[in-house]
């Protein structure tokens, strides 16, 4: 056997070399594979770096663009901020101007309110002085009308009475406006018999309408109203007065219609109507629709302004509809009292009863600090065959009572006496001197609710100056008819 490592004796040398070459070739292939792998990996690394470089270049360009855009945006923002600052400065200036204007408006409003209050105080202060001579004049004229006069003198006296009545109406209207503006009139809401209220107002105005040649119709309402009867009647009286005054021919209707929990009380006339452009201003002071009154007289244009204010106090909406050439409807909505807590009180126009008896021999004590009033009252009461005692002070009234030969049946006292106690206190003092308590009334130019409440608590009815003969006579007969002569 040949030794190990020696060629087999039977092997071919060429094959051996071939095998050796195959082995060497395999080894070289492995080396080549390793080298190629390293080369590829090296090339991949170079490719990633290039990609990163390209990406970096691109991001740099984007960053520069974004930086440029941001710079432009910052510049625009700065410009906007400058504009906003300018606008803010303008707004602050406008706010300062507005605040100054509001302060000026408040000052002007306060000044107007002070002026209005001064006007109200002035009218309240002079109302007594204005009403005193007017009251005396009307009483004297009324006394003349009670006397025997020639036809010519009666016409003159009637003309004087008409002129005084016009002055009385104008003065009362101005004073009422003053009281409404001052807020001294308060509503006394209660249950009111709607049928009685409308019936009384219809009776009051029917004669005037027929005297003007107008047809007058009244549709009663059987409802209980929740309202102030005197203030509501003031509204309806204004509607009726205007309808009769401005309707030259045709008819006037006073009626009402139920609307849920309200009753709409309206006055319709067939007069000339009101232009549409006037409907929004006729409730303002000194504004008139422009059509002439049937009686030829021109008013102040305050009636509907008073209606507007009273309706505001009552919270009763007022409505108006009109067509030129066809007529006008004025209406007010009044709440219905569904379940009255008490019986509805009967309504008397102005709270006045109707006269029921003669006054001959009636002993009347008149207390007023104005000698003109006491003289005029004495003249009028003498014409009614009354026995009259007059006094201008409480002390004089006491002397008159102590020295009176007859009985004092009724006391008439002014509320505001220049010296000594006010009227209600003067009446109380006189009552203490009488063996039998006498009924009494107050006469005053003061129309405040407080005065009426005070007088009502003491049981003294009130007549407002200037006193008209008919209400005075009605009140005297009412005081006697109620049998007020009770033991003191």
* Position 52 confidence tier, pLDDT thresholds 50, 70, 90: low
**Phi, then psi, of 471 in degrees rounded to 5:** -65, -35
Bin 324: left if φ > 0, else alpha if -120 < ψ < 50, else beta: beta
* Position 421 confidence tier, pLDDT thresholds 50, 70, 90: low
Return the H-helix or E-strand segment holding 228: none
**Mean pLDDT across the chain, nearest whole number?**
77
For the domain covering 352-487, report its CATH number: 3.40.50.2300
| Rounded Cα distance, 85 and 89, in Å | 6
Q: For residue 288, give the nearest of 300, 271, 277 by alpha carbon.
A: 300
CA 33 to chain centre: 110
Q: What is the pTM of this model?
A: 0.53
Question: Can the peptide bond before residue 466 be classed as cis, meaning omega within 30 degrees of 0?
Answer: yes
* Position 424 confidence tier, pLDDT thresholds 50, 70, 90: confident
Q: Where are the domains of the chain?
A: 189-350, 352-487
> What does 82-130 look like in DSSP terms, one character per residue?
HHHHHHHHHHHHHHHHHHHHHHHHHHHHHHHHHHHHHHHHHHHHHHHHH
**Residue 353, pLDDT above cutoff 70:** no
Evaluate whether 237 touches 202 at the Cβ level (below 8 Å): no
For domain 189-350, which architecture applies?
2-Layer Sandwich (3.30)
pLDDT at position 448: 67
Q: What is the mean pLDDT of residues 80-99?
A: 87
pLDDT at position 420: 64
* Exposure on the CB side of residue 370, measured as CA atoms within 13 A: 20
pLDDT at position 63: 73
pLDDT at position 333: 93
The per-residue pLDDT for range 147-197, each reduced to its tens digit, is: 777 888 888 877 787 777 777 766 776 776 666 766 667 788 889 888 888
pLDDT at position 316: 92
More confident residue, 342 or 276: 276
| Rounded Cα distance, 198 and 335, in Å | 15
Evaluate whether 231 touches 447 at the Cβ level (below 8 Å): no
Q: What is the mean pLDDT of residues 45-63?
A: 66
Place of tokens 């960053």: 63
Q: What is the mean pLDDT of residues 304-332?
A: 88
pLDDT at position 484: 44
The per-residue pLDDT for range 230-254, each reduced to its tens digit, is: 889 888 988 998 899 888 889 999 9
Q: For residue 316, give the nearest of 235, 218, 254, 257 by alpha carbon.
A: 235
* Exposure on the CB side of residue 183, measured as CA atoms within 13 A: 3
Please give the share of the chain, as a percent, with pLDDT higher than 90. 6
pLDDT at position 125: 61
* Exposure on the CB side of residue 385, measured as CA atoms within 13 A: 5
Lowest mean pLDDT among 3-7, 16-20, 97-101, 260-264: 3-7
User: What separation in angstroms does the CA of 89 have from each of 83, 94, 98, 100?
Assistant: 10, 9, 14, 16
Q: For residue 251, give the nearest of 201, 203, 204, 217 by alpha carbon.
A: 217
Work out the number of other CB atoms within 10 angstroms of the CB of residue 307.
23
| Rounded Cα distance, 132 and 415, in Å | 12
Lowest mean pLDDT among 106-115, 175-184, 296-305, 345-354: 345-354
DSSP 3-state assignment of 191?
Answer: strand
pLDDT at position 341: 46
Evaluate whether 423 touches 415 at the Cβ level (below 8 Å): yes
Lowest mean pLDDT among 74-78, 285-289, 302-306, 309-313: 285-289
Place of tokens 């049981």: 459
**Residue 268, pLDDT above cutoff 90:** yes
More confident residue, 58 or 117: 58
Q: Which residues of 52-61 are buried (b: 16+ CB within 10 A; e: fewer)?
A: eeeeeeeeee
> What does 203-267 look like in DSSP terms, one character per residue?
HHHHHHHHHTT-EEEE-----EEEE-HHHHHHHHHHHHHHHHHH-SSSEEEEEEEEETTEEEEEE
pLDDT at position 207: 83
The per-residue pLDDT for range 320-344, each reduced to its tens digit, is: 888 888 889 999 999 998 765 444 5
**Residue 348, pLDDT above cutoff 60:** no
Lowest mean pLDDT among 99-113, 175-189, 375-389: 175-189
**Residue 217, pLDDT above cutoff 80:** yes
Q: For residue 218, give the nearest of 230, 229, 209 by alpha carbon.
A: 209
DSSP 3-state assignment of 437?
Answer: strand
- Packing angle between helix 229-246 and helix 303-314, nearest 10 degrees? 150
More confident residue, 95 or 149: 95
pLDDT at position 349: 46
Q: What is the mean pLDDT of residues 256-282?
A: 85
Sign of CA dihedral 283, 289, 294, 298: positive
Instruction: Please measure the distance between the N-terminal and C-terminal CA atoms of the chain and give it in whole angstroms.
Output: 181
The per-residue pLDDT for range 21-40, each reduced to its tens digit, is: 777 777 777 776 776 676 56
Q: For residue 297, give the nearest of 166, 390, 395, 405 by alpha carbon.
A: 166
Sign of CA dihedral 283, 285, 287, 289: positive
């Amino acid at each position: 056997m040949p030794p190990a490592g020696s060629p087999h004796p039977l092997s071919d040398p060429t094959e051996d070399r071939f095998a050796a070459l195959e082995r060497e070739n395999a080894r070289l292939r492995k080396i080549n594979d390793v080298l190629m792998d390293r080369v590829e990996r090296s090339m991949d690394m170079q490719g990633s770096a290039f990609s990163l470089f390209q990406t970096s270049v691109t991001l740099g360009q984007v960053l520069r663009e974004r930086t440029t855009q941001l710079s432009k945006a910052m510049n625009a923002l700065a410009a906007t901020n400058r504009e906003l600052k300018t606008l803010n400065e303008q707004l602050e200036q406008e706010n300062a101007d507005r605040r100054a204007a509001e302060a000026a408006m408040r000052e002007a409003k306060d000044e107007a309110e002070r002026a209005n209050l001064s006007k109200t105080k002035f009218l309240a202060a002079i109302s007594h002085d204005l009403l005193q001579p007017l009251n005396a004049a009307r009483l004297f004229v009324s006394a003349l009308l009670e006397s025997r006069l020639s036809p010519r003198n009666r016409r003159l006296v009637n003309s004087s009475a008409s002129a005084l009545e016009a002055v009385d109406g104008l003065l009362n209207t101005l004073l009422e406006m003053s009281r409404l503006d001052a807020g001294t009139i308060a509503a006394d809401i209660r249950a009111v018999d709607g049928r009685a209220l409308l019936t009384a107002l219809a009776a009051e105005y029917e004669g005037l309408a027929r005297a003007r040649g107008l047809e007058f119709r009244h549709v009663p309402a059987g409802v209980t109203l929740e309202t102030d009867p005197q203030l509501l009647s003031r509204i309806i009286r204004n509607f009726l007065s205007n309808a009769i005054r401005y309707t030259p021919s045709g008819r006037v209707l006073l009626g009402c219609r139920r609307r849920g929990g309200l009753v709409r009380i309206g006055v319709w006339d067939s007069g000339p109507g009101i232009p549409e452009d006037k409907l929004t201003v006729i409730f303002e002071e000194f504004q008139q629709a422009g059509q002439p009154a049937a009686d030829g007289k021109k008013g102040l244009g305050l009636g509907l302004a008073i209606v507007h204010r009273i309706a505001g106090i009552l919270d009763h909406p007022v409505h108006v509809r009109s067509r030129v050439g066809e007529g006008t409807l004025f209406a007010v909505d009044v709440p219905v009292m569904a379940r009255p807590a008490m019986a509805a009180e009967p309504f008397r126009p102005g709270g006045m009863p109707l006269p029921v008896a003669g006054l001959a021999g009636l002993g009347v004590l008149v207390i007023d600090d104005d000698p003109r009033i006491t003289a005029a009252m004495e003249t009028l009461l003498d014409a009614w065959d009354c026995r009259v005692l007059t006094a201008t002070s409480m002390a004089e009234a006491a002397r008159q009572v102590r020295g009176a030969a007859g009985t004092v049946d009724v006391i008439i006292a002014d509320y505001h006496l220049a010296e000594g106690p006010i009227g209600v206190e003067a009446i109380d003092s006189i009552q203490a001197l009488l063996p039998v308590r006498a009924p009494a009334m107050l006469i005053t130019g003061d129309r405040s609710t407080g005065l009426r409440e005070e007088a009502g608590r003491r049981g003294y009815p009130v007549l407002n100056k200037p006193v008209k003969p008919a209400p005075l006579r009605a009140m005297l007969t009412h005081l006697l008819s109620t049998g007020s002569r009770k033991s003191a």
